[in-house]
Amino acid sequence: MGHSIRGKRKKWSFLAVIVLLLLAVSIYVYNRWPESPVLEMKAAGNTVALARDAGADKYAPDLFRETCKLYDSAMVYWKTENKRFFLNRDYQKTLSYARQTGETGMKAYEKARKKAGSVHHTTAETLAELEKIMEDFKQVYGSLPLPKKLRENFNQAAMIISEAKLAREKGDFHIAEAKLEKAEKMVMEAEKKARKMIDDYFVSLPQWTSMAEEAVNRSAAQHSTVVIVDKMARKCRIYKSGKQAAEFDAEFGPNWMTQKMRKGDQATPEGLYTIVQKKEKRRTIYYKALLINYPNNEDRIRYQRNIADGKVSARHDIGGSIEIHGHGGRGFDWTNGCVALSNKDMDVIFSMVSENTPVVIVGSVEPFEKYLKNAKKKQNGE
């Protein structure tokens, strides 16, 4: 009996030891169980979502990419550590990446918020500015013979601006911004090239103005008639005794913004000429015509120089048969280098000039800015 009680006691004691041992192990495990970085990872995830909602992927793409990378790294380390035996788990790297995610994500959020707030206005401003530049460009260079490529680039820019406008309407301000930036570059480039073309053209302005002034003074001194053709103003003016007696709209060759160099270049020559023949009826196909002495000596010298400089091929003829003739009034430049007037105006000029009347053809008699001012005034009906 005593042996049985002792045996039971021994057994219970043994079980109690086991239970206590288990309890001790449980307490040990509980105390040593590493704390998972749940809150930090949740906060990091929320920051990613917050930044994305603020449009950081569009307005702060670099920072947002960095944020996502940091978050992914934190997640990878978290997963890796969770696979280890609990005593070996170390969440320090996970925590570090989660904190970095939060910091970078907030930077991305702030930057995106600022950008999103301003891009609405900046794109509206840029759009308005560009539309104004486009309108001015059309007004300034619209009637000038710009190179085809330049005009195409300009129209391409107009198309991109339309796309930017649509992107704005859709609320895709970052797309609108990128498109406007591209369009602005194209417009500025076109503007620069067109401006250079004008500047190059107007280099000869002092020479043109003195040619025109001298002709008018001579007309005054000799009480004679002179014809002055102003290509930029698209005018043909008659001076009698130094006073302007008539003014007509004129049309030229499509390539009028350059000195004539050879036959077929569709340029209208610049220089001092005289009327060598008055033609009408069957002698001209253009109603009435005043043949001038192109090429004169100066034209021939320039032509030879251009051949020597390689600017003109020797195979090309210098050209000729430059006239002031009728069939004009079409509103665009269509001749092969001649000056075209309407038949009605041709009747008037025909009666005012004679053979040997001097004809001065110049690029312009006033600076481009003045020409622009006058063109604007005319457009506004002032």
Partner 1 sequence: MKNKFVLGFVMISFVVMLSSCAKVPQAELDALTAAIEDARAAGADVFLPVEFAALQDSMNAINTMVEEQKGKLFGNFKAVSGKIAELTATATTVKDNVEARKVEVKDEIDNLMVEVSTLVGEAKGLVAKAPRGKEGAAAVEAIKTEIGVVETAISEAAGKLESGDLMGTLDQLKAAKEKVTAITTELTDVIAKYKGR
Q: How far is the CB of 73 from partner 1 (least distance, A)?
A: 13
C-alpha neighbours within 13 Å on the C-beta side of residue 61: 3
- Binding mask 317-336 vs partner 1 (x if CB under 8 A, - otherwise)? ------------xxxx----
Sign of the dihedral through C-alpha 272, 276, 278, 282 = negative
Q: Residue 146 contacts by C-beta under 8 Å, 6 or more apart in sequence?
A: 154, 194, 197
Dist CA 274 CA 354 (whole Å): 10
Smallest separation, CB 36 to partner 1 (Å): 3
269-298: which residues touch partner 1 (CB under 8 A)? none
Q: Determine the Cα–Cα distance for residues 292 and 279; give it in Å rounded to an integer.
A: 11
> Which one, of 238, 261, 213, 259, lies nearest residue 363 by Cα?
259
| Residue selected from 16, 166, 245, 301 as contacting partner 1 according to rule CB under 8 A | 166
**With binding defined as CB under 8 A, does residue 38 bind partner 1?**
yes
Question: If binding is defined by CB under 8 A, does position 314 make contact with partner 1?
Answer: no
The single residue among 20, 23, 29, 188 that binds partner 1, judged by CB under 8 A, is 29
Pick 212 or 341: Cβ nearer partner 1: 341
Interaction with partner 1 in 40-79: which residues (CB under 8 A)?
41-42, 45, 48-49, 52-53, 71, 75, 78-79
Stretch that binds partner 1, among 31-39, 116-124, 280-288, 315-323 (CB under 8 A): 31-39
Among 15, 221, 301, 308, binds partner 1 (CB under 8 A): 15
Q: Contact, 35 vs 89, CB < 8 A?
A: no
CA atoms of 37 and 94, how far apart (whole Å): 7
Beta-carbon contacts of 351 under 8 Å, excluding residues fewer than 6 positions away, are none
Q: Residues 199, 201, 203, 204: what is their CA dihedral angle, to the nearest 10 degrees? A: -160
SS3 at position 241:
coil
Shortest CB 187 distance to partner 1, Å:
14
User: Which residues would be at the binding site for partner 1 (CB under 8 A)?
Assistant: 11, 14-15, 18, 22, 25, 29-30, 33-34, 36, 38, 41-42, 45, 48-49, 52-53, 71, 75, 78-79, 82, 89, 138, 142-143, 148, 151-152, 155-156, 158-160, 162-163, 165-167, 249, 329-332
